[in-house]
Amino acid sequence: MYNQRTKIKALLSSEATHFQTTVMGWVRSFRNNQFIALNDGSTNNNLQVVVELGMLDESNLKRITIGACIRASGELLPSMGKGQKVELKASAIEILGDSDAETFPIQPKRHSLEFLRENAHLRFRTNTFGAVFRVRHALAFAIHQFFNSKGFVYMHTPVITGSDAEGAGEMFRVTTLPIDGSAPRNEDGSINFKSDFFGRSTNLTVSGQLEGELAAMAFSEIYTFGPTFRAENSNTPRHLAEFWMIEPEMAFYDLEDNANLAEEFIKYIIRYATEYCSEDLAFLAQRLEEEEKALPQEKRSGMGLLEKLDFVVKNHFERITYTQAIDILRESNHNKKKKFQYPIDQWGIDLQSEHERYLVEKHFQKPVILTNYPAKIKAFYMRLDENCPPDRQTVAAMDILAPGIGEIVGGSQREERMDHLLRRMREMHIPEKELWWYLDTRRFGSCVHSGFGLGFERLVQFVTGMNNIRDVIAFPRYPGNAEF
């Protein structure tokens, strides 16, 4: 048996000392030919391994370089130094894997996030990314725990989809046909997909929602949690071409039930992270604080990461309708002084980022749930509100806006009435023939139901305080980039 070791996290929190143990990990620094800071990823904190003088000969001592992988055995003792409680007095050190000091890119100093992104295969070995990805793991685990505890069924919706009718975004095509122009063609010159792998045109999914609705019409409450793909040329710190999305779908939930669940969900996930990732979050909070010191006063958030998370957990999300939001924005001094790039003048316009930010960061200073948007700017499957004033038709949509990152949740009560749904699909040119299976849910036992979608990376961004979404997914995909 090879894996006979104790994890560093366990040793650092050990009450007992004076016992023999073995650790394996990667060297973070080596000082004074004597002190190895060793990390095995179980925690951001390093174990100090003390090398007695003369224990290793000159040539082996030289092999203890930053990034090298070693096994150390010895006695765990109270530390004689000040920076740590315990340390390992080594009686044997074996170098498992050398790391050439001249070419290993990660130095014991502060690197820019951009540089580390170019070294994404090695950036896990830094404090920042160690913390980020342990938090990411904890959040994923908390999501399953939350839904499982409520009796939701975890559905795996397809990654390859035949439907391209949702209009949620540009899609990546999936095909085994040759791309050199020799693919079979129809008479009109378009590609004939009859001979393609699936016998039809297929794409990578942009959303599992429609399939999720099918499952909700049997299990009552389901959720999806999987990768999603958008072929949009988006170059922002909030967008990826490949990202993970959580999409719960619930029968017998109206819009209010839906918003209640989303709020409870977000608070649960954050509370879980603050409870189980306190060390990593404390590190990230400190990192963020130092980063903000370099910014001019008006750009600082004013609230530390930990306070922000605590604040979100403890306060009710503000709930207002789109119409109320327009009134607030129109009457705001900001608008009257013409400080918006896009002034608010009429009902029906889509809100811009600056408007959302004003509502969340200036007016309410907390997360906001915006509901009942104009039907014209929302998707076909959202339920038409009843008794709307003329020319002010709205749908039962809801967006949750979070400080710092904007829209974190988008959801709605779904249109369960066949006649309304068909009318909306025709208005918006959604081909009903292709979605026959979706429409079948409205034919056979339709019911009030709702759901929402949440971008996992945006949640990780919010909790870790990382500004760029490319730094919260291990190997980010975005226009012009698919390294690793």
Sites for RNA among residues 382-411 (CB under 7 A): 406-410
Q: What CA–CA distance (Å, rounded) separates 111 from 16?
A: 36
Write the DSSP symbol of residue 298.
Answer: G
Q: Which amino acid is at 71?
A: R
Cβ pair 269, 142 in contact under 8 A: yes
| 101: contact with RNA by CB under 7 A | yes
Strands, sheet with 160-161, edge to edge from the N-terminal-most edge strand: 160-161, 202-204, 173-174
Indicate which single residue of 4, 20, 33, 278 sits in contact with RNA (rule: CB under 7 A): 33
Nearer CB in complex with RNA: 350/432: 350
Q: In the complex, what is the shortest distance from the CB of residue 187 to RNA, in angstroms, rounded to a whole number?
A: 32
| The one segment of 184-192, 300-308, 330-338, 352-360 that binds RNA by CB under 7 A | 352-360
What three-state secondary structure class fits 346?
Answer: coil
Q: With beta carbons less than 8 A apart as the criterion, state whether 270 and 463 touch.
A: yes
- Beta carbon of residue 87, minimum distance to RNA (angstroms, whole number): 5
Residue 274 and residue 255 in contact, taking contact as beta carbons nearer than 8 Å = no
Region 103-142 residues binding RNA, contact defined as CB under 7 A: 105, 107-112, 114-115, 117
Assign 199 to helix, strand or coil.
coil
Nearer to RNA, 193 or 408 (CB): 408
Q: Is residue 467 near RNA by the rule CB under 7 A?
A: yes
Amino acid, single-letter form, for residue 310: D
- Quote the least distance from Cβ 34 to RNA, whole Å: 6
Distance CA 313, CA 142 (A): 15
Count the neighbouring beta carbons within 10 Å of the beta carbon of residue 483. Answer: 10
Q: Which CB atom, from 34 or from 260, has the smaller least distance to RNA?
A: 34
Among the residue ranges 140-148, 238-246, 422-430, 431-439, the one whose residues contact RNA (CB under 7 A) = 238-246
Residue in 12, 272, 458, 462 binding RNA, rule: CB under 7 A = 458
User: What does each C-alpha distance from 366 to 237, 289, 308, 403 come to in angstroms?
Assistant: 21, 20, 9, 7
What is the dihedral sign for C-alpha 248, 254, 259, 265? negative
CB 95 within 8 A of CB 72: no
Q: Which of 4, 19, 83, 252 binds RNA (CB under 7 A)?
A: 83
Q: How far is the CB of 88 from RNA (least distance, A)?
A: 10
Which of 27, 37, 277, 312 binds RNA (CB under 7 A)? It is 37
Query: Which residue, 262 or 285, has its beta carbon nearer to RNA?
Result: 262
Task: Choose, by CB under 7 A, the member of 11, 50, 70, 421 that binds RNA.
Answer: 50
CB of 11 or CB of 409, closer to RNA: 409
Report how many residues bind RNA under the rule CB under 7 A. 73
Q: Which of residues 187-216 bind RNA (CB under 7 A)?
A: 207
CA distance 65 to 79: 23
Helix count and strand count (H, E) for the chain? 14, 16
Considering the rule CB under 7 A, would residue 240 count as an interface residue with RNA? yes
Q: 200 or 299, CB closer to RNA?
A: 299
Any alpha helices (H) in 294-376, and if so which ranges?
305-314, 322-331, 333-336, 353-357
**Closer Cβ to RNA, 55 or 183, answer by number:** 55
Using the contact rule CB under 7 A, the part of the chain among 75-83, 128-136, 183-191, 359-367 near RNA is: 75-83
- Our CB check for RNA shows the closer of 385 and 455 to be 455
